[in-house]
């Protein structure tokens, strides 16, 4: 089966996380400031490109969940929802039976909760578990690719 690592156009305005090392539970950030995208009104579909440059799985208990969250509130102080997530890390603690570590992941995305209700603001949120978890990635939103 062929492998086709996706190449997509990068728009700096759609950057969601800039590569700062992630520790604990934290929102995606740029220059240490939490990053929230304003998607405008209506439905937005896209792909989130996540380039994972480092994840430690040495202890066999490390995992990082990359959550795609939306809200009607620009500051994410209320009315926020996780509409897609990807968990990577050691196979002992993630769903599946194979480690998921460094490389490029694509998370398809829609800014909807149930019954097509859309929310205007988007962020990433990282949750780490494990004894010695280190995690680093760059993430950005792109127009949906053609396969």
Partner 1 sequence: MSERARKTYDVDLELKDAGAIAASAAALVDAAAKILDLGTGTVEGDIIIDVSAMEVASDDEKYIIHAEVSSSATFASDIYAVASLILGSSGTAEWDNIPGDADMYIGRYVLPFRNEIVNGIPKRYMRLYTEVSGSIVTGINYTAYLSKRN
Q: Could you tell me the smallest distance in angstroms from the CB atom of residue 11 to partner 1?
A: 20
Burial 121-139 (b: 16+ CB within 10 A, else e): bbbbbbbbbbeebbbbbbb
Q: Are 27 and 34 in contact (CB under 8 A)?
A: yes
Write the interaction track for partner 1 spanning residues 96-125; mark x where CB under 8 A is met and - where it is not.
Answer: xxx-xxxxxxxxxxx-xxxxxxx------x
Q: Are 69 and 81 in contact (CB under 8 A)?
A: yes
Write the interaction track for partner 1 spanning residues 51-90; mark x where CB under 8 A is met and - where it is not.
Answer: -x--------------x-x--------xxxxxxxxxx---
Where along the sequence are the contacts to partner 1 (CB under 8 A)? Answer: 1-6, 41-43, 45, 52, 67, 69, 78-87, 94-98, 100-110, 112-118, 125, 127, 144, 147
């Amino acid at each position: 089966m062929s492998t086709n690592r996706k190449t997509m156009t990068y728009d700096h305005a759609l950057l969601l996380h800039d590569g700062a090392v992630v520790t604990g539970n934290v929102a995606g950030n740029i220059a240490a400031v939490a990053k929230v995208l304003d998607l405008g009104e209506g439905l937005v579909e896209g792909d989130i490109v996540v380039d994972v440059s480092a994840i430690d799985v040495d202890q066999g208990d490390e995992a990082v969940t990359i959550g795609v969250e939306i809200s009607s509130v620009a500051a994410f102080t209320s009315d926020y929802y996780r509409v897609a997530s990807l968990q990577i890390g050691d196979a002992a603690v993630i769903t599946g039976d194979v480690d998921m570590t460094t490389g490029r992941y694509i998370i398809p995305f829609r800014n909807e909760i149930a019954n097509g209700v859309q929310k205007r603001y988007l962020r990433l949120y990282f949750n780490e578990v494990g004894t010695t978890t280190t995690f680093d990635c760059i993430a950005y939103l792109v127009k949906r690719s053609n396969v």
